[in-house]
Amino acid sequence: MRLDKFFASQSLASRKEVKELVKKGLIKINGIPARSSDMTIIPDRDMISFNGKTISYKEHIYIMLNKPQGVVSSTEDNLHATVLDLIPPELFRKGLFPAGRLDKDTVGFVLITDDGDFAHRILSPKKHVPKTYEAIINNSISQEDIAAFREGVQLKDGTLCLHAELKILKPDVQPLVQIVIHEGKYHQIKRMFEARGKRVLFLKRIKIGNLSLDDNLAPGECREILHKELNQILE
């Protein structure tokens, strides 16, 4: 990989900036000042340092975002802010995209990455990675509703959903419930409740696989997902 591309890929400096840093002798390859910004390095083998600090190379980045309401889960939108607009410069990289979408009014855990293979693995319907949500519903939940979710709800357009778990967390006139689904159809949870004659008033994704949304993230905040946490997603 070219040295300047390496720096750009890690969000450390633009290609133009790398030229300057090389001139100033601030970048070293295996302890020797870099010759030029377009020299070839092998990220997994060479030790690259910048200003005396060794850079640990990451091929891909994985970000946990607590999506607020009103933000769309796409990479571009002419009208609304997108989830990518919420990524701070130090985590931003070319090629980031959300691995799985939430509706504009749904809040919570969105995973953003530049790793297409990983996204494919967690989104593939064959993998059935569970996604856990909390929701407030406009009407009380019956044992029949719970059984229907367990067996697989048939949506109004005839689509049959896979089995899902529905649990009442707080009984009320507008109960708080938890739902676990194993696929990701368009507006799935809203349509599942609609098929039961109910309406979702609030929806939040709290978990992907076994990885929970970090309680310390306020709406709109994000952080990098650690390597050991990545395994929890696919467990």
Q: Is 2 in the site for ligand URA (CB under 6 A)?
A: no
If the CB atoms of residues 113 and 188 are measured against ligand URA, the closer one turns out to be: 188
Site residues (CB under 6 A) for ligand URA, limited to 196-215: 203
Site residues (CB under 6 A) for ligand URA, limited to 5-64: none
Query: At closest approach, how far in Å is the CB of 132 from ligand URA?
Result: 11
> What does 122-176 look like in DSSP terms, one character per residue?
HH-TTT---EEEEEEESSPPPHHHHHHHHH-PBPTTSPBPPP-EEEEEE-SSS-E
Cβ neighbours for 152, distance < 8 A, ≥ 6 positions apart: 160, 161, 162, 163, 164
Write each residue from 83 to 122 as x if it is in contact with ligand URA (CB under 6 A), else as -, in one continuous string: -------------------xx--x----------------
For residue 128, CA distances in Å to 53, 198, 215, 235 come to: 42, 25, 25, 11
Query: At closest approach, how far in Å is the CB of 164 from ligand URA?
Result: 11
Q: Which residue has the tokens 């990983």?
A: 118
If the CB atoms of residues 86 and 203 are measured against ligand URA, the closer one turns out to be: 203
Beta strands in 23-79 (DSSP E): 27-29, 32-33, 48-50, 53-54, 62-67
| Residue from the set 166, 189, 211, 230 that interacts with ligand URA by CB under 6 A | 189
Which of 46, 77, 103, 115 is flagged as catalytic? 103
For this structure, is 103 an active site residue? Answer: yes
| Structure tokens belonging to residue 136 | 């407030």
If the CB atoms of residues 93 and 190 are measured against ligand URA, the closer one turns out to be: 190
Catalytic residues: 103
Binding positions for ligand URA, rule: CB under 6 A: 102-103, 106, 187-190, 203
